[in-house]
Structure 1
Amino acid sequence: MKFRFAAIAFLLPAFAMAQTSNFSITGQIGKIGQPAKVYIDYSDNGKNHEDSCVVVDGKFTFKGNVSGVTTSRMSFDHQGKGKPHSIYAPNADVVYIYFGKENVSFISKDSLANAQVLGSKIYNEFQAYNAQIGGTIMALTKAVNQEFQSASPEMQKDTTFQKAVDARFLRNIKRREEKQFEFAKANPNSYFALVALSESAGTKVDVARVEPVYKALNADLRNTDMGKELAMRITATTITAVGQQAPQFTQNDVNGKPLSLASLKGKYVLVEFWASWCGPCRAGNPNLVEQYKLYKDKGFEILSVSLDNNKQAWVDAIKKDGLPWLHVSDLKYWNNDVARLYGVRAVPASFLLDKDGKVIGNTLRDESLNAKLAEIFKN
């Protein structure tokens, strides 16, 4: 039993508050050397950046330009096994930090996770914010996994124990979201109010609750890339509701040719948001393949929108999973224009449209999707 989240965009929000400026992130992690590497991913003003650095005698340095405050994922590859291992291995040495136009230092005897972070006012504010809301998602997930792993093998197999651990975990997440919402209301001039509101709003926004708090935020915050994305998510909740005409879009297919949603009018269309790196998406693909086989000759089409940023990975996943339907992407990762238009901040996500392009389902997945398609095509 392992507690995981679907791929969610809140790990890489970005804030653009000022003109481009230099930053540096340096580290002294013991005396570790080759083949160790450190990897960094960060988003600035809607654009994703990544870099890597060989560790020499425990030292590493990253330099670059940011237009304001951003968040970063840094992972330390102690054994030279590559970036994916440094991020996703069970005992991965990975941290998520905010930084701005600053010179940030990581000092530790053994790891990023245990490092003291110096020189960053933004990091200190982030720590204070986390103290108020009950910690990061990663910390809560790590704690519940440790609780489960510390139990005896017999307890781990006990469904009553599993449900109890799961219930506590979900209560902690819910409590954190409530504290985030209160933080956003109480601190309209803090950029972490925007972080808090964006995360607690989720993918299906309660517009009546969230919109007034959003409008009360500092105008500069609302004008950042993250602020604009949240505004689009608030709007998307209304315009993608069942009964609404689905927002139109055009993106390029795998061959670089534009493909429009409008061109599919007259068919039932499943607009499917996914990515090659999304485990739950890939796990659900066999069912979609089966449904497509059943109904493609009866007027059913799937238009998959990928949140990949690597074309080869996208194309390879389509081939490996045997996905014979239509595919588009702008390869902008979480900043995919269609995903933002539809308010998608977690994948998989889908919207089922009727022949006239109206939304007839926006929470359908697996069995619920199968039942809806069977109802539509029963004749």
Structure 2
Amino acid sequence: MKIKLLIIAALAPFVAAAQTPNFTITGKIGNLNAPAKVYLDYSSEGEGKSDSATLVNGTFKFTGNIKGIASSRMTLSREGIRDKEIYASGTGDVIYMNFGKENIHISSPDSLYNAKWTGSKVYEEMKAFEKEVGPTVMTVHHNANVLLKKATPEQQKDTAYFQILDKQVKALRVSRGQKMLLFAKNNPGSYFALQALSESVSGYGVKSDIALPLFNGLTEPLRLSYTGQGLYKILNATTITALGSKAPDFTQKDVNGKSVSLSDFKGKYVLVEFWASWCSPCRAESPNLSKQYAAYKDKGFEILGVSVDHDKAKWIEAIKKDGLTWPQVSDLKGWESDARKVYGISGVPANFLIAPDGKIIGSHLMGEVLNKKLAELMK
């Protein structure tokens, strides 16, 4: 008994150290009180977490542990309803930022979106990065939507006004895309060079033959990081998922927590369908998928839905609402989905059609293109 007690006592300092927060974010937004809340969603090295804090005289505080630099979204809702702000036509009080193992303070007289940050070197580097390459896509759309909201009734009816705004948004996006590759080349040791490459590939469709040399030019710690290895998989996925290649196997859990593998469906034609509950084009394709599944499920055809959701409740709700009766899996890592990285998906919806021998015979088949392909195979 004494030996066990000594062991427990010896381990106690390590347990305490593991539980000690390595970042703190405090804030002061005006003099807001309940029901006003601030929500923080963040991920670091593949681990995602969510937290919330009710404002007391405008103040709030978050603490936690991260393994490296965190990517995050912070939302201020005066009504205490996070989703309402996130989907508020692009004008909600929502910000996207990076932070590290730091003691950070945020302050603003009225808005989270306009808040000033102090105590975060990572945040300062992020703002310097944005100054060099241009504002994020979220910021561009937010600012455009704010202008639309402030527009006069005459402007809101004027097609030319909308066209001017649309042209400005597209120009800013194109400019950012061009400058990010240059930033990655000129700043091989910066975490944001890795971020720039990741966004170039997933958001701008930059091909592997352009991105891979830049990736190889990054410092070793960046290449070997969790984010770096994830990007490396995506850059090599073009070869791995080429037509005629054997489809990479993967295992994820279904809505009941049961492990399901792609290889479980060997011997059938399988459509691996990547989607998400928040993806409107994905949901719009659901009726056609349901029709095809009903027509061919008894003839050796299967669909395996792979969600890039992170909210299990919303994922299950979408499955029920859309009447999806085929197998559904997700690792609930959102855009950090392991299967997404292996298959090099840069956007959803996306899919791969796999033959009974396990080889890929089609990709990105939607609507009538998918229907025609299945009709040929299921004669």
State whether TM-score is above 0.5. Answer: yes
Distance change >3 Å, CA 156–CA 355, structure 1 → 2: farther
Counterpart in the other structure of 1:6: none
**Deviates further, 146-155 or 183-192:** 146-155
1:322–1:100 CA distance, 2 compared to 1 (3 A): same
In 2, the alpha carbon distance for the partners of 1:112 and 1:42 equals 16
1:21 CA drift (Å): 6.3
Query: In structure 2, do the counterparts of structure 1 residues 155 and 101 end up closer, same or farther at CA, with 3 Å as the change threshold?
Result: closer
2:27, 2:107 within 8 Å by CA — same for their partners in 1?
Answer: yes
State the match for 2:23 in structure 1.
Answer: 23
Match of 2:352 in 1: 351
Partner of 2:75: 75
Bigger radius of gyration, 1 or 2?
A: 2
| Offset, 1:359 | 1.7
Q: Give how far 1:338 is off.
A: 1.7
The offset of 1:235, in angstroms, is: 1.5
Q: What is the CA–CA distance in structure 1 between the aligned matches of 2:157 and 2:298, rounded to whole Å?
A: 47
User: In 1, are the aligned partners of 2:33 and 2:57 still within 8 Å (CA)?
Assistant: yes
Q: What's the counterpart of residue 250 of structure 1?
A: 251
Q: Which deviates further from its counterpart, 325-334 or 49-58?
A: 325-334
The 1-side partners of 2:235 and 2:302 are apart by: 28
The alignment's TM-score, normalised by the length of structure 2, stands at 0.87
Q: CA deviation at 1:151?
A: 7.4
Conserved 8 A contact 2:155-2:161? no
1:63 deviates by: 1.0
Q: CA deviation at 1:44?
A: 1.3
Pick closer, same or farther for the CA change 1:162–1:234 going to 2, 3 Å: same
Shift of 1:345: 4.3
The equivalent of 1:10 in structure 2 is none
Secondary structure of the structure 1 residue equivalent to 2:42: strand
Q: Letter of the aligned partner of 1:361 in structure 2? A: G
Question: 1:89 is matched with which residue?
Answer: 88
Distance (Å, rounded) in 2 between the aligned partners of 1:156 and 1:103: 47
Query: TM-score normalised to the size of structure 1?
Result: 0.87
| Mapping of residues 197-208 of structure 1, within 5 Å | 197-202=197-202, 206-208=207-209
Give the letter for the 1:359 counterpart. Answer: I
State the Cα distance separating 1:363 from its structure 2 match: 2.1
For the Cα contact (< 8 Å) 1:148–1:156, is it kept in 2?
A: no
**Match of 1:185, as an amino acid?**
K
Q: Which has the higher contact order (CA 8 A, sep 6+)?
A: 1
How far the C-alpha of 1:143 sits from its partner, in A, is: 3.8
Report the secondary structure of 2:267's partner residue: coil
Deviation at 1:348, TM superposition (A): 2.0
Deviations 1:306-329 (A, max 9, x none): 223343433332222111111122
- For residues 295-346 of structure 1, what are the alpha-carbon distances to aligned partners after superposition, in whole Å with 9 as ceiling and x for unaligned? 2233321001122334343333222211111112223333332222212343
Moved more, 236-245 or 103-112: 236-245
How much is the aligned-residue C-alpha RMSD, in angstroms?
2.3
1:263-285 C-alpha deviation (Å, 9 max, x unpaired): 32232211011222333322221
Seen in structure 2, the aligned counterparts of structure 1 residues 151 and 202 have a Cα distance that, compared at 3 Å, is farther
| 2-structure distance, mates of 1:315, 1:92 | 26
In structure 2, the residue matched to 1:14 is none
Matched position secondary structure for 2:369:
helix
Deviation at 1:152, TM superposition (A): 5.9
Give the Å deviation of 1:167: 5.0
Determine the C-alpha separation between the residues in 2 that align with 1:162 and 1:283: 26
Q: Does the 8 Å CA contact 1:75/1:86 hold for their aligned counterparts?
A: yes
Report which of the two has the higher share of helix.
2
1:277 aligned residue: 278
Aligned ranges 1:100-115 → 2 under 5 Å: 100-115=100-115
Q: How does 1:300-311 map to 2 (within 5 A)?
A: 300-311=301-312
Is the 8 Å Cα contact of residues 205 and 234 (structure 1) preserved in structure 2? no
Task: Report the Cα offset of residue 185 of structure 1.
Answer: 0.5
Calculate percent identity across the aligned residue pairs.
48
Given the superposition, is the C-alpha separation of residues 21 and 345 from structure 1 closer, same or farther in structure 2, using an over 3 Å criterion?
Answer: farther
Which 5+ residue runs of structure 1 have no aligned equivalent?
1-19
| Partners of 1:29 and 1:165 in 2: CA distance | 31
